[in-house]
Structure 1
Amino acid sequence: MTDLFIYLIIAIVSVFIGLFLGRNSAKLRFEKEQATLEERNTSLNLSLQDTTDDLKTTQLEKEALIASKTRLETELKNSENKIAENKEELGKIQEKFTKEFENLANKILEEKSTKFTEQNKLNMTSILTPLKEKIEGFEKKVSESQKESIGMHSALKEQLNNLKDLNLQMSKEAINLTKALKGDSKAQGDWGETQLEILLEKANLAKNIHFTTQGGYRDDDGRLKKPDFIINLPDNRHLIVDSKVSLTNYEAYFNAEDEQQKELHLKKHIESIRKHIKELSEKKYESLYEINTPDYVLMFVPIEPAYLLALSKNNQLYMEALDKNVVLVSTSTLLATLSTVSSMWRQENQKKNVLEIANQAGRLYDQFVNLTDDLIKVGNQLKTVQGSYDTSMKKLTGKGNLIKKVEKIKELGAKTSKVMNKSLLDRATED
């Protein structure tokens, strides 16, 4: 009986011990699973933050492109309105000149038409023919200017439509050339300059007219400086663009499979861009007294994915560059800038054309005034000739006229072979 009671107590104690140990074990498992879930939640939050930053950067790029497109379309509309106004004004001037010329010419011709001799007609032809040629040349120049403006606006619209395609094309070219350029800094630099020149030409900017390459300039200390590209702007202003390629570490980051290696190469990639910014800032191109440029230099990163990666992982990089008077630009943002420059040159050329047309109109008006002066002189000369004619006729037909005298000689028996004009003879014998 005693032994049975002891076994019963031991069994009860064992049950409580088992329950206690089981509960502790379940608690430990729960705490371990909770720690694992918290760690996973932290990792997911970090990934979400990175994705959010990437999305913000992409949105900023999109907004910049939309703003550039809107600005260019506004400039295009303003140019079209200005050309329409100029065309209407020129039409009014031409119509006014034509009417004035027709009225004056008709008036003079009506007054003097019965008195013009063949020689006078030849004189009028010699005066009117050059004027006609000038008017035709003026009309041709106006027509050519209008056609040129229409062609320029069509090219601008086509360029805006091709911005996206060109950006994708250059990105693909950069990826295809990665292996060939990897590890060769000189080849990378040459390729970057080539891509920059292609962008300039795509924006309808002409070499040695709208931009120059590798020009030599001396700074205040006499040291030679050679910016990659100098873009000319109207009013003798300039923009300096330098191409910087950061490819090696970006390619290594892109191909790395290990996250630790990716992080290492990403850091080196950002440091490479930061080094380029520092080197470009120290050259102080914006301080060259021979170049009229703003207080900053454009640093062109031709591989847009590499550019976006660096900015998305270090959102202070852009401001760091600005603090050093360097503006980071990629293919898309530089294209928008170059399109604006191209539009500025088109407006400048159109302004010059309008001034030239105005000058031509002024010269045409002066020539028209000269014509009226010549016609007045011709009229005065005709009056003088008419006066001389009347005086001569008076001597022939007036009192004591010559016709009576010579007829008297004929009556006295002078031998003649001609007969006097009957109307003159009648006038002479009337008095």
Structure 2
Amino acid sequence: MTTLIFILSLVATFGVGLLISWLFAKNKYVKSRRSFISNIASLSNEKEKLEMMVGQANRELKEERDKVIELNQNVASLETSKDHLIVQLQTQKSDIEKLENKLAKEFENLANRILDEKSEKMSRVHGETLKSILTPLKERIHAFEEKVERSHKDNLERHAGMKQMVYDLRELGIKMSEDAQNLTNALKGSSKTQGAWGEMILERILERSGLVKGREYSVQESISIDGKRLRPDVIINLPDEKKIVVDSKVTLKAFERFASEEDPLAKQQHLKNHVQSFKNHLKNLAGKEYDKLYGINSPDFVLMFVALEPAFNTAIRNFPDIYDYAFERNIIIVGPSTLLATLMTISSIWKQEYQNENVLEIARESGLLYDKFVGFIQDLSEVGKKLDGSRRSFERAMNKLSLGTGNLVRRAEKIRELGAKAKKEIPTNLVKKSKEGEQLEIN
């Protein structure tokens, strides 16, 4: 009995345990299911958001692709425009050269077509009219052709001249260095003698630069400013009425003593005197205020020309800050070689300026030629209208002669048929036409 009760108790306990386990598992399952459903809803929302973001990204990507396509089309259009402009520039010269022949042929063909269709009298009258129109036009075309040829020739000469100037620059630099070194010992005289020698070197450089005296530069021009009389050695003219003043300075006494002195201490003192002489020249030149001589048309500096290259180089080696010292006083120091290079550059600028003026003149003449051509076309149109009017008047007069019942030709021919004596006869084609015209009128 006790055993049975124990077994029943054990079974009941096991059953209760199973029931509790089942209830716990069910509760856990319900919670897990709710969490799973919640996660599915959250993932669904995330999916919708991601789909919206993907759609927006696709739209933006399409817009960017459209922009890239549009930019590529613009680039292609610009490349095409560039190529077209290059072709136009290349063909412009040949078009100008062909213009005269083309216009002459068109004028001749047009005039011939008009003159061949008209009577001798009308041809003579209008031939004289055409001649009066074409003669000035031919002269203008010829003048235009000469300007184009002259411009082309000037361009070739300019390039050849530049090549020659570069060669001359090298040769002159060598020669002037040799001349300066050889003349160092000879120029031990007065400051006036040295100054004259420096001006001679300056004049030689100006002659070799390609600039024209009296046009691109002037020498020893006397100018008054604030009651003071100034006489710059050289005034260089630039385009747009700008000016550059060149002043020649020669310092040889201290340099000659420095070059010939053998004692080191005395040699060093002469070198200091040479550098000090340079400084004094710079101060004196700055005091003249040449850079303010022409107001707004003057550059902000003056060129101080030192004719002796060895003296110039010695001062630079022993006074490295000399350029800054001069520039603070609105002065630029130049030797023969650097001055010649500067002047040759200015000469090249002037040649380019003259070339540009020729181009502008060609453009102006082209405009006048075009206007003249338009006027000629208008005159020809008026001549054509008048000739058409004359032709219509002629046709009306001929119709009166040969068309209609009882036209004049037919009546005159009947008079002859009735026995009128006449020495001349009406042309057969006109008589035939009058009969046909009369028959048409009857029908």
Deviations 1:303-354 (A, max 9, x none): 1111001111111222211111111111111122112211211111111111
Aligned residue type for 1:208: G
The 1:87/1:153 distance shift into structure 2, 3 A limit, reads farther
The 1:208/1:142 distance shift into structure 2, 3 A limit, reads same
Q: Does the CA contact (< 8 Å) of 1:250 and 1:269 recur in 2?
A: yes
Equivalent pairs: percent with the same residue?
A: 42
> Match for residue 311 of structure 2?
306
Q: Does 1:417 align with 2:423?
A: yes
Counterparts of 2:111 and 2:374, CA distance in 1: 14
Aligned residue type for 1:317: I
Counterparts of 1:175 and 1:160, CA distance in 2: 23
- Tell me whether 404-413 or 353-362 shows the greater mean CA deviation: 404-413
> Match for residue 331 of structure 2?
326
> Match for residue 398 of structure 2?
393
> Match for residue 210 of structure 2?
204
Aligned residue type for 2:176: M
- Out of 92, 95, 101, the residue aligned to residue 89 of structure 1 is 92
Counterparts of 2:294 and 2:131, CA distance in 1: 59
> Match for residue 378 of structure 2?
373
Q: Does the CA contact (< 8 Å) of 1:86 and 1:354 recur in 2?
A: no
> Match for residue 273 of structure 2?
268
Aligned residue type for 1:271: Q
> Match for residue 146 of structure 1?
152
Q: Does the CA contact (< 8 Å) of 1:218 and 1:288 recur in 2?
A: no
Counterparts of 2:264 and 2:367, CA distance in 1: 74
> Match for residue 189 of structure 1?
195
Q: Does the CA contact (< 8 Å) of 2:100 and 2:141 recur in 1?
A: no
> Match for residue 248 of structure 1?
253
Counterparts of 2:361 and 2:119, CA distance in 1: 38
The 1:85/1:172 distance shift into structure 2, 3 A limit, reads farther
Aligned residue type for 1:204: G
Deviations 1:38-85 (A, max 9, x none): xxxxxxxxxxxxxxxxxxxxxxxxxxxxxxxxxxxxxxxxxxxxxx99
Aligned pairs for 1:153-168 within 5 A: 153-168=159-174
Q: Does the CA contact (< 8 Å) of 1:236 and 1:292 recur in 2?
A: yes
Aligned residue type for 2:435: T
Q: Structure 1 residue 122: deviation in Å?
A: 4.7
- Out of 112, 117, 127, the residue aligned to residue 114 of structure 1 is 117
> Match for residue 135 of structure 1?
141
Aligned residue type for 1:161: Y
Give the SS at the match of 1:230.
strand
Aligned pairs for 1:3-82 within 5 A: none
Q: Structure 1 residue 211: deviation in Å?
A: 0.5
> Match for residue 53 of structure 1?
none
Aligned residue type for 1:90: K
- Tell me whether 324-333 or 409-418 shows the greater mean CA deviation: 409-418
Q: Structure 1 residue 232: deviation in Å?
A: 0.5
- Out of 168, 171, 181, the residue aligned to residue 177 of structure 2 is 171
Aligned residue type for 1:164: R
Counterparts of 1:226 and 1:388, CA distance in 2: 82
TM-score (norm 2): 0.71
Larger gyration radius, structure 1 or structure 2 = 2
Give the SS at the match of 2:297.
coil
> Match for residue 14 of structure 1?
none
What root-mean-square deviation, in Å, do the aligned CA atoms of Structure 1 and Structure 2 show?
2.8
Q: Does the CA contact (< 8 Å) of 1:112 and 1:379 recur in 2?
A: no
> Match for residue 355 of structure 1?
360
- Out of 210, 218, 224, the residue aligned to residue 218 of structure 1 is 224
Give the SS at the match of 1:181.
coil
Q: Does the CA contact (< 8 Å) of 2:217 and 2:234 recur in 1?
A: yes
Deviations 1:203-252 (A, max 9, x none): 10001110111222222x32111111110111111111100011222222
Aligned residue type for 2:220: Q
Q: Does 1:230 align with 2:271?
A: no
Aligned residue type for 2:387: L
Counterparts of 1:276 and 1:125, CA distance in 2: 71
Q: Does the CA contact (< 8 Å) of 2:243 and 2:294 recur in 1?
A: no
> Match for residue 42 of structure 1?
none
Aligned residue type for 1:249: A
Q: Structure 1 residue 410: deviation in Å?
A: 4.4
The 1:301/1:86 distance shift into structure 2, 3 A limit, reads farther
Aligned residue type for 1:89: Q
Counterparts of 1:145 and 1:203, CA distance in 2: 22
Q: Structure 1 residue 404: deviation in Å?
A: 3.4
Counterparts of 1:144 and 1:418, CA distance in 2: 65
Counterparts of 2:94 and 2:354, CA distance in 1: 21
> Match for residue 29 of structure 2?
none
TM-score (norm 1): 0.73
Deviations 1:273-318 (A, max 9, x none): 1111111000011112467212211100011111001111111222
Aligned residue type for 2:194: Q
Counterparts of 1:376 and 1:116, CA distance in 2: 18
Counterparts of 1:89 and 1:252, CA distance in 2: 65
- Tell me whether 285-294 or 160-169 shows the greater mean CA deviation: 285-294
- Out of 273, 285, 293, the residue aligned to residue 280 of structure 1 is 285
